[in-house]
Amino acid sequence: MATPDGMLVEVPFDGDFSLGDTLKSGQIFHWEAITFGGIDGYAGCIGDGPPAFVTQDASGVVRTLAPDAGRVGRYFGLDHSSASVRAAFPANDPVLAEAIAFCSGIRVARQPLWECLATFITSSLKQVAHIRAMSLTLRSRFGERHEFAGHHFHAYPTPEALAAAGEAALRECGLGYRAKSLHLAALAVSTGAIDLAAVEAEPSLARAREQLLALHGVGDKIANCALLFGAGHWDAFPIDVWIERILRDLYRKRVKGAKLQAWAEKHFGPHAGYAQQYLFHFARKTL
């Protein structure tokens, strides 16, 4: 499929995928809906690279500009089978089955770990619209600028850029008390006090989470979000108010904290993070 500025190529995938649901599922906050070459789609930076344009037609076919098919496919988790993910779920779970039927096309993205961690540090006690606004402000003030199809896009700021900016400048981006946590995290990463590459390579969820929990302002929920959406730990199961509500009301779980976390990880299994995404989107839209 040709456009004035290049050729759109198909991104192959196995199973279900909804680009719109995935972008609106509370894991990615910076993509923009745009029209490119007369075709409606979304564009956003993948890491520190230039923006990618992605579109999905009514038949479900996903296309992007050549030669981006590989990086787009990996970013949106299209390089694995959704059926294989669901095969590891508990066999008799009608709640999860209903959630999957409601939003079967959601995929877990693979974002750069620093970008993902920093974004969720700023997400504490904020709605999706507020998280997006803070992310876009940080990007526009401190991130590398790119132009695409008449639009300006910004990569997420590096740890070095945010460490140099200082806490006061971050507060001016609407972060409030979160500015301190973000600044200290940027300092820790930029100085090597924490090695995110080692965190990402750590096969043990518990050990990887322990390293992130050493950062100021990072609790279990933020650590689990970063590990799920940024480090490929599909066994991570973030618990926020929506998830706690659905586990309490629909699974009749009355435990909290570490006990609830342990139950969820055991019940939903090695792809618990995928189950979390189905349940999270289902809860936000129906409860």
* Interior/surface letters 17-30, b for 16+ CB within 10 angstroms, e for the rest: bbbebbbbbbbbbb
Report residue 6's pLDDT band, with 50, 70 and 90 as the boundaries.
low
Structure token pair of residue 243? 């998830």
Q: Which residue, chain included where needed, has tokens 């779980």?
A: 253
Which helix (H) or strand (E) is 153 found in, with range?
A: strand 151-154
Q: Which residues in the chain are classed under CATH 1.10.340.30?
A: 113-230
* DSSP secondary structure letters along 28-97: ----EEEEETTEEEEEEE-TTS-EEEEEE-TT--EEEETT-HHHHHHHTTTTS-HHHHHTTS-SS-HHHH
pLDDT at residue 179 in the model: 97
CATH of domain 113-230: 1.10.340.30
Mean pLDDT to the nearest integer, 257-280: 96
- Residue 67: exposed, middle, or buried by beta-carbon count in 10 A (0-12, 13-18, 19+)? exposed
Name the residue with higher pLDDT: 81 or 2: 81
Mean pLDDT to the nearest integer, 58-86: 94
pLDDT at residue 128 in the model: 87
Mean pLDDT to the nearest integer, 266-286: 94
- Average pLDDT of the chain, as a whole number: 94
The pLDDT tens digits of the residues spanning 224-253 come to 999 999 999 999 999 998 899 999 999 999
The pLDDT tens digits of the residues spanning 15-31 come to 999 999 999 999 999 99
Strand partners, 120: none
Say whether 205 sits in a helix, a strand or coil. Answer: helix
Are 281 and 246 contacting, i.e. CB atoms less than 8 angstroms apart? no
d(CA 223, CA 90): 25
Indicate the range of 1-15, 39-53, 157-171, 261-275 predicted with least confidence.
1-15
Strand partners, 3: 6
The pLDDT tens digits of the residues spanning 30-70 come to 999 999 989 999 999 999 888 999 999 999 999 999 889 99
Q: DSSP assignment, residue 183? A: H
d(CA 122, CA 133): 11
Indicate the range of 160-169, 189-198, 248-257 predicted with least confidence.
248-257
State yes or no: pLDDT of 3 exceeds 90. no
Structure token pair of residue 255? 């435990």
Q: DSSP assignment, residue 175? A: I
The pLDDT tens digits of the residues spanning 107-151 come to 999 999 999 999 999 998 778 889 999 999 999 999 999 999 999
